[in-house]
Structure 1
Amino acid sequence: IEAGRPYAPGEPVAFTRVAGPVGQSGMQRRALITAMPVAGAVAGVVVVLRDVTERLLAEERLNQAEKLESIGKLAGGIAHDFNNMLAVMCAAAGLAERAESDSARRGHLRTIITSAEQVAESNRRLLAFARKDPVRRAVDDLREVVAQAHELLRHSLERTIVIRCDCGTLPLPVLGDRSALLNALINLGINARDAMPAGGTLAIATALVEVGTGEAAAGGGELPPGRYAELIVRDSGHGIPAEVLPRIFDPFFTTKPVGKGTGLGLSAVYGTVRTHGGAISASNQPGGGARFRLVLPLTTQPALRPMMPLPTPPPAAAPEPSAGMAAPPVVLLVDDDPEVRQLTADILADLGCTVLTAGNGREALVVLAAEGERIRLAVLDVIMPEMGGVEAFREMRHLQPGLRVLFSSGYAGGDDVVALVEPGRVAAIEKPFTMAQLGAAVKGLLGP
């Protein structure tokens, strides 16, 4: 009797069984066992065992990829809406703080702005998981990123944790965002620390690896064949429970006590790696402890131009109105959210600009055609109905080649926007932004 029911005489029996651990890796194997009775001169049973481990693992990876993709789309949409709401909060509080003379009330308004910025940071982790987080691409040696992470972890982890790095001698040039990769390594280091409350060893190693045809990427799909930079992060902690492994990269999933973790650390790492065209997997080591493997594509390309840096000013700083201009610059503000549009227009007016507005790209083209070269700068939301910011940008450049453009969106740093950035001519700013950040971006494009 198998699978809870009796079988008729002569009926073949098929079922799967787990065997293992097998071999040096200690990995459990799964076998499909088929048993067929044989009648005739010699009575017996023919038993066929087929190793189906790889097939079942591939199916699990595909299911995991589909699940994470669905979660990512949901997370990205929620984060985009949050960013618009946070942009309204930051703009309104910033304008009120600017006009408020009472120091106590200014302090309360500053608290609102600071809290909104903290929420925005959590939002950026969601966008990283959804692979919509801004990526400022440049060529970096992965070994240098690891060395920087090692230095930061050495000063922040307990002395009971020994950090060992083995980065080899071969350069590992990758095209990506150093800050995002550094944050991913820090998150993995903190995750390892939490798994070793009594101390232990955190080992980080890099290597150059060749990926052949058909090698599966973590989370499903396949990595294109070629040379990759491999990064292994191991700890000597208690490992990852088997029931947790399938959900280890899910956003908001955590096994830590309430108040000890957000459940966004590893999901942000997953999003960062996938944004960089790589793969990540998690497993347990035979001798104990967790092992994370990151694989990133190597590059021989020159770095793309990064997005213009937007400095974060001291909390009490406020942008000064534009000075020294013969006439107020005319700015065309394009955003489909009425509240964001109105408050951003108020900030621009406070900076000394004359503001024209439009609700989408098509409306903006009509305004630009009517006003012509009077408009010196267009502030474009990236995602809008009718016509989005990137398409509107291309049409605007046909009408007015010298127009300065500032992209503004919760998805501000998508690859399509990053490729359009030109220092002094085209820049990008992420929502939610402060008055000072918007002022610095406008000044960078229009001059003092």
Structure 2
Amino acid sequence: MERPPCVPEKTVLGTRMSSEYRQEIDRLIRIEYGETAELVLRFLGLCFGSVLLFLYTGWAIAWLWPLGFFVAQAQYYGFLKTRNEICTEGDCKIAAGLFLLILTSFLWMPAVMASQNDTVLVFAGSTLMATAMVFLVRRGDTAWPFVLGGVLVVCCMYLAVFWFRPFDGADPVATWGVLIANLVLVGYLAQALLISRRSRLRAVAATERAMQEQKMSAVGALAGGVAHDFNNMLTAIIGNLELARELPDEDERQTVLNEAHNSAKRAEAVVKQLLIYSRKAPAFHTDMDINVAVARMMGLAQRLIPASVTVVLKSPQSSLGVRVDDSQLMTALINLVVNAVDAMPEGGTLRIVTSLERAKTGNSMADGGVLPVGDYAVIRVCDTGMGISEQDLHKVVQPFYSTKPTGKGTGLGLSMVLGFARDHGGALQLVSSPSGTEAAVWLPCLGARA
């Protein structure tokens, strides 16, 4: 497939890399500020701790601890939230530097506490430093500036504790034993961060492989319908070319040649759609209208829908803007359409409805989670099949679990749809009864994003 001359290869590669950096920035925002309850508890705990520290020690520097932490957090938050849609590697490196500043602004006071001769302060300081290490492992960072930088900051803090702690009269063997124990602790932190990094990268790679397998499975199903279309197009091309040989009139010959050319262009358009859809590429998030995406998906999926199934599309007049990976959205929607069609072997009605809805407290999703309150673009795919039994309803989203006969399904379709929705800040909702099943994909509206 030729690349359009207006989109150089370097430009496309740069755009994909920019999208990956943008996703990393979004991930950093979610990790640091995504859980409101934890964030409030973190800030209140620091303020309360500084008050207790001042009351216990009388140190004036106790007030500098939360102040410095809040200033560092404000800089980090401001930087992340003001990044453009086009992000660079430099943005991620600056973000790493600001995060290490936050880590330092938190750890310096526990290090001071741990370097005292007071048992209470040593215990409290050591506990807070251990808490910071647990938080580093929990983050699951994969970028080296975050991983190595975090280890370096923690190591420096432990060395500072050893350097400033008075060991007057202490046994040298005990002193060196404490130092070695601290270094071993930092070493295990580094190992835990590396294992966490490796596990996350493997999980991402496995998700991408599963996504690609689902895409290729859908492409294989589409190919059967496309073959019929191609046969019609080739018949038109060959017939018009043969007719052009026989026609003596130049105008008539040009007319049939134009018809052949038009059929060839239609075939080219179908091939381009399949190639774009089946390509293996990094996730590339773009702003799009859900209604347009559904209409484009139906242009591909209509070949999978037999004549016995009636299709009903319903969309609002206004656009529903979301930020998603186009290819992943297509894969998710085609999987839902395939499931709906398979549920109606004798025919029925397939309804695809898009709408703007507000999630309320307590909206239960297919994975048992609760969707955060907010505005969402919702895509509902409904069938009039026999439905899913109650005992299977919560299992069908599990990988490799399928209610279809052996050889008819991989068991990855709904789990992939669920993963897609989660990765984009949304959720999958399943409602089923003996008269049919409704699968709803909830995606945050662009205007509803924080």
TM-score, length-scaled by structure 2: 0.38
What TM-score do you get using the length of structure 1 for normalisation? Answer: 0.38
Q: Which structure has the highest strand share of the two? A: 1
Structure having the higher Rg: 2
